[in-house]
Amino acid sequence: MEASGEVRRFAHQQWPYEPNYKRVNGWQMHYVDEGVGNPVVLLHGNPAWGFLYRKFVKPLSAAGRRVIVPDMVGFGLSEKPVREQAHTLDGHIANLTGLLRQLDLRNATMVCHDWGGPTGLGFALSNSDRVRALVIMSTWAWPLPPAEFHKRIFPWRMMHAPLVGPYLLGHHNALAGRGMYLSVVDRKKFRAEAQSVYEGILPDPGSRLLTWTWPRWIPLDESARGLARFEWLERELRKSKFPTLLVWGREDEVFDHATFATRFKELLPHAEGPELVTGRHFLQEDSGEEIAGKINRFLDRIDGKQS
Amino acid sequence: MTEIHVIENYTPEGKRRAFVLAEDRVGHYPEFREFFVRQFSLGANRLERPGYVRASSGMIYALVFIGRSGEPFPDGIEIYALPDALEPLNDSDVDADLWALLRWMIAGVGGEWRVEQLDATGRLYQLSVAANA
């Protein structure tokens, strides 16, 4: 919602969904709310927004599920704070918690990708009475460090270094454009149907702040700001018994499945998968319908077990 | 690394401050903060005056250092171009000047941070200013 009170609407043939807004934790948060049934919450990360799940909404809602797709505060159609200090990992978990409590969701399946992992799992592990299952894709939930890639100066640490981040990712929108392009398998299709949408939703440098702020929250050493929260995530996740499905991109070089899906499997030995699909980090772009089908079948199996 | 020159004792007259870039967390990697402290003697001068640099376009930039209670100084930086008071900025000149300023900064930070890595990052993301670097 703009300062005028006007609802922000994104008109696009691939995104025919009504906008919904809640004020949560001091910010206006946008979400899509389609279908009826047990809720499935689809959580994006950096620098995406709900559009990443455009191929999930119809198959999941058609299968009798309520599909909630929030835009993280700072992305998509949600309010975009203009100061880096407005963004903290705990604050983003609190944003999501505020939204899902206002919607009074119960029996929710949390579908977690990228920073939707630490935030969505943070919600699930602190609101276990509202959650019934997890789907985990290309993310992490433990300290130090997520991947070898994140320790390297070229390109990762350089990309978000002081002043370089605001210039490269702010002035030049490098992550929503070229960055996502490099992180899909079918780049021609991505460029044709999606890249301009991800770039256009972050229209000016001020709106792109979170694209270089999130990378700075990845713990790289013992002094990192988010370290204690990640230690808590790992500790609590290891104790959790949520039915879980792991889905990973076969071509994901950053959160490679051999390292990351395997580690989740160690934390959650009862998890199904990892089920591998065509995809790099943004596997939803390459295999959206296929992953939605896997989620439907996974939830059908849970329903069968519970009936 | 000769594209950016620090200017001592500069007094802007007939200029305006045109905001071009901000960094809220210059100490995210502490060696970046230490570079600016060294370069502009911020241990002694702190908030007395901005740092001024001249870029190859001829434009002078003011580096305004931001302090926050509880954080080492400086915590943030705002960069302003100083054009003639009523003249608009040339966007491509500013873009090239900022890239030169980043190269100058990385060279000054030193250690494991190398200008070649910045150039490679710029090329990876297809920045025109980095195309020939």
> What is the extent of the structural domain holding B95?
5-130
Query: CB atoms < 10 A from the CB of B131, how many?
Result: 10
Q: Where are the alpha helices (DSSP H) in chain B?
A: 30-39, 42-45, 91-109, 115-124
Q: Which residues of A touch B95 (CB under 8 A)?
A: 171
pLDDT at B7: 95
* Residues A164, B102: C-beta atoms closer than 8 Å: yes
- A67 occurs within a structural domain: yes
**Contact with chain A for residue B126, Cβ under 8 A:** yes
pLDDT at A306 exceeding the cut of 60: no
Q: What is the mean pLDDT of residues A217-225?
A: 93
Domain membership of residue A81 (yes or no) is yes
Beta bridge partners of A246: A136
Chain B closest CA to A102's CA: distance in Å?
Answer: 32
How many separate domains does chain A show?
1
Residues of A with Cβ-Cβ distance to B125 under 8 angstroms: 155, 159, 168, 172, 174, 178-179
Look at residue A183 and tell me if it is in a domain. Answer: no
Task: Considering only the beta carbons, identify the residue of A83, A171, A174 that sits closest to B24.
Answer: A83
Report if residue A215 sits inside a domain: no
* Lookup result for tokens 């149907």: A193
> Domain count of chain B?
1
Give the pLDDT confidence of B83-110 residue by residue, as tens digits.
999 999 999 999 999 999 999 999 999 9
Inter-axis angle of helices A227-239 and A116-126, nearest 10:
60
User: What is the token pair recorded at A116?
Assistant: 């939707």
Q: Residue A293 phi/psi, 5° resolution?
A: -65, -40
pLDDT tens-digit readout, A51-88: 999 999 999 999 999 999 999 999 999 999 999 999 99
User: B36 and B51 in contact (C-beta within 8 Å)?
Assistant: yes
> ipTM beyond 0.95?
yes
Query: Is the pLDDT assigned to residue A249 strictly greater than 90?
Result: yes
B27 touches chain A (CB under 8 A): yes
Cite the beta strand spans of A138-271 per DSSP E.
Answer: 244-249
User: Which tens digit of pLDDT belongs to each residue from A261-274?
Assistant: 999 999 999 999 99
Judged by CB atoms closer than 8 Å, whether chains meet at B32 and A163 is answered as yes
Q: A162 vs B23: CB contact, 8 Å cut-off?
A: yes
